Structure 1
């Protein structure tokens, strides 16, 4: 059993981040179903009691890992408005970034393919928090576009943001359709033709 003597003096946020890092690697390599709290604790260099005390059960750890990965993508999105001087480029960049990040995310792909019964509820029936955070981040990006004079202000910007988020959410969960959106070029062209008009009104 790993020693936990350093756990009493280490920054709690650092310990929790280390546990989440370990859980992410464990889930990516072995899947959630085959991962135990003991596996996560061993990889993180703490004991199982520390994991339970800091983060909770395995399902709690899954939720926290998922939320952190979503947060990482949203943090990346927050930097995009400052890189563009026109709305078309901004919307296309956000759309392409979100879709490609999730399509290439090891854990997301593994869980959606091999353990959909575990991850789908977190993204659908139990996914209100994550979806709300995504909408809020999109609204923030649009507000930044307004401040940068790329978009006129409007009282229904939150509605437009939610429409875009609902489309992206659907595309991630069900990528197969009549419209080809496989390459970055196809995603970029789609965003410019169909999503920009929604945002610009």
Structure 2
């Protein structure tokens, strides 16, 4: 097994343990047992539980960003592409909530404290991605401002993921409203009758 495969196995085990027991109650012994390896082998790949958590968060963010980039480049209009980008973000958090209703709040609040740098980089990449989608469709729009508004809107939806269908439904409707507002803004191209 390669080092990369071992790290993936460790991160899978860490996710299983964190969602089952919570971050605070999970031990390195738990992660090693779940990964099917000894603690000394585990420590060859991650320094401690916090390191495993940071790497896991980075992997989740990378996966979400890859999905967002694919959605940004997919065929469809502005609303569909923006919705797809934001669904990748919302979907990542909804998965954590679904996998661990008992520990989701802990998992989602801990990552802000332990993983501020990758989260900041992820947020910046999402802002740039959203702005690029807007600019491609509406070059005269204030793309940076709209990207910030869309991210703030999505963060609001992330506050309550207890109903798995409501946030995605509200996201789609909210993006429709944002896009409709762009069509009516003073900088939007005028349609001729």
State the TM-score, normalized to the length of structure 2.
0.74
- Counterpart CA distance in 1 for 2:4 and 2:22 is 25
Residues 1:59 and 2:50 are matched in the alignment: yes
Contact 1:23 1:40 in 2 (8 A): yes
Extract unaligned runs of 5+ from structure 1: 1-9
Answer with 189-198 or 55-64: which moved more. 189-198
Aligned positions of 1:28-67 closer than 5 A: 28-67=19-58
Q: Deviations over 1:115-142 (max 9, x none)?
A: x3x6415326963431332321341354
Q: Give the distance between the partners of 2:77 and 2:22, measured in 1 at CA.
A: 42
Shift of the alpha carbon at 1:163? 3.7
Query: CA 1:182–1:196 in 2, change beyond 3 Å: closer, same or farther?
Result: same
Deviation readout 1:154-199 (Å, 9 max, x if unpaired): 7x64454334323323431x239xxxx925333211111136747x
Partner of residue 152, structure 2: 166
Q: Distance in 2 between matches of 1:166 and 1:107?
A: 24
181-190 or 16-25: bigger deviation: 181-190
TM-score (norm 1): 0.71
Paired with 1:85 and 1:27, the residues of 2 have a C-alpha distance of: 37
Q: Matches of 1:127 and 1:20 in 2, distance apart?
A: 19
CA, structure 1 residues 133+100, in 2 after alignment: closer, same or farther (shift >3 Å)?
Answer: closer
Q: Is the 8 A contact 1:27 1:107 kept in 2?
A: no
Query: How many residues matched?
Result: 181
For structure 2, the 5+ residue unaligned runs are 188-193
Q: Distance in 1 between matches of 2:115 and 2:34?
A: 28
Aligned-partner SS, 1:175: coil
Separation (CA, whole Å) in 2 of partners of 1:197 and 1:16: 46
Distance 1:186 1:39 in 2: 38
Root-mean-square deviation (CA, aligned residues, Å) is 3.2
Q: Which residue of 1 aligns with 2:173?
A: 189
Structure 1 residues 101 and 20: CA distance shift in structure 2, 3 A:
closer
Whole-angstrom CA distance in 1 between matches of 2:18 and 2:54: 12
The equivalent of 2:190 in structure 1 is none
Asked whether 1:175 is paired with 2:160, we answer yes
Distance 1:107 1:70, change over 3 A: farther
Residues of 2 paired with 1:158 and 1:49: CA distance? 48
